Amino acid sequence: MKNTIPPISVQLYSVREASTKDFDQVLDLIAKIGFKGVEPFNLFFKSPADFKKQVNDLGMEVSSTHFPWANRSRDIGKVADIVNTLGLSRVPGGFGPDDFKDMDTLKRTIDSTQHLVDALKPYDMTLFLHNHYWEFQPIDGRTGYHYLQDAVPDVEFEIDTYWAANFGNNDPAAEVARVRERTPLAHIKDGPLIRDQPHVAVGSGAMDFEAIFAAVDPEVFEWAVVELDNCATDMFTALALSYKFLTENNMATGNG
C-alpha cells in the first residue's frame, strides 16, 4: 500500500543565485538538509545523465523537472530524450499572463496544450502544467484555468499552491481538490499573500497547508516540492525551516 505521506523535494530555482557560483555545493547542502528529491530548472552545464547520477549519489532523486520546458517551438523529441535521461516521464509546461488575457488568447492556450499532450504520447510521456497567479483570474466570469482543465482532460498539473491562492482571492485547497486525480506534484511555498512581497519559510506565512495536503489524492500525489521564489532571509535557512515544518507535521517525509 502506498505511503500516504509524500516525499519532499525542492525546486532548485529557489537557490539559483548560489547555483551559478557553486552548483555542486548547493546540491550537497540540499542533501544535508534532508530533501529526498530535487526539481531542476537549469542543469548548470551538467549533462542530464551526470546530473541524475550526482543527485542519486547524494541519496536523492530527481523528483520532477522544469527543464526542458515544453512549448510549440521546441523539438519534442529532444525534450522527451532529456526528460527520459533524467529518469522521468512527465514533461513540464506553463504559460505567461498574455496567454490568459481574454477568451481568444485562452482558446489558443488550450489548443497549444492539447497539441503538446498529443505530441508527447508517442514517447509515452505526459505533459504537466505549472501555474502562476494569472491563470486563476476570471475570464468572462469564470476562472481561466478551469476552462483549460476541463478542455484538456489528459494534461496533468503541478499546482503551485501559493500562486493558486491569487493573493487571497482563491482557495488553493479547493483548486487542488478540483484536479486532485490529475495532480501528482505541487509547489509548496508560503508568504503574506501580498503582491511583490517576499516569500517566507513554509509554515510561517499565511498559507493553510493542513487544508492543502488534505485536498490531494494520496493515490496520485507523488511529491511535495518546496519552492521559495525569493526570501528576505537566508534562502538555505528558509529551506531548512520549511523542511522541518513539513516533516515534523507529517505532511511530507525526508531523509533527515
Per-residue pLDDT reduced to its tens digit, 169-195: 999 999 999 999 999 999 999 999 999
Residue 231: band (very low, low, confident or very high) from pLDDT cuts 50, 70, 90: very high
In a domain, 75, yes or no: yes
> 79: domain range?
8-228
| pLDDT for 146 beyond 80 | yes
Please tell me the total count of domains within the chain: 1
Over residues 80-138, the pLDDT tens digits come to 999 999 999 999 999 999 999 999 999 999 999 999 999 999 999 999 999 999 999 99
| Residue 242 placed within a domain | no
C-alpha cell at 156: 496533468
Where residue 108 sits, what CATH number does that domain have?
3.20.20.150
Please indicate, yes or no, if residue 247 is contained in any of the structural domains. Answer: no
Average pLDDT over all residues of the chain: 97
Measured N-to-C along each axis, helices 76-85 and 48-57 cross at an angle, to the nearest 10 degrees, of 20
In the predicted structure, residue 72 carries a pLDDT above the cut 90:
no
* Cα end-to-end span (Å), the chain: 23
Are 58 and 27 in contact, with CB atoms under 8 Å apart?
A: yes
240 belongs to a structural domain? no
Residue 86 domain flag: yes
Q: How far is CA 186 from CA 34, 37, 110, 172, 219, in A?
A: 19, 13, 21, 11, 14
The confidence band for 223, taking pLDDT boundaries of 50, 70 and 90, is very high
Instruction: Measure the CA dihedral 27/28/29/35, to 10°.
Output: 70
Which pLDDT belongs to residue 2? 61
Q: What is the pLDDT of residue 18?
A: 98
Q: pLDDT exceeding 90 applies to what percent of the chain? A: 96
**Whether pLDDT at 59 is above 90:** yes
In a domain, 3, yes or no: no
Compute CA 214 distance to the chain's CA centroid, rounded to the nearest angstrom: 18
Residue 233 inside a domain? The answer is: no
The verdict on residue 239 lying in a domain is: no
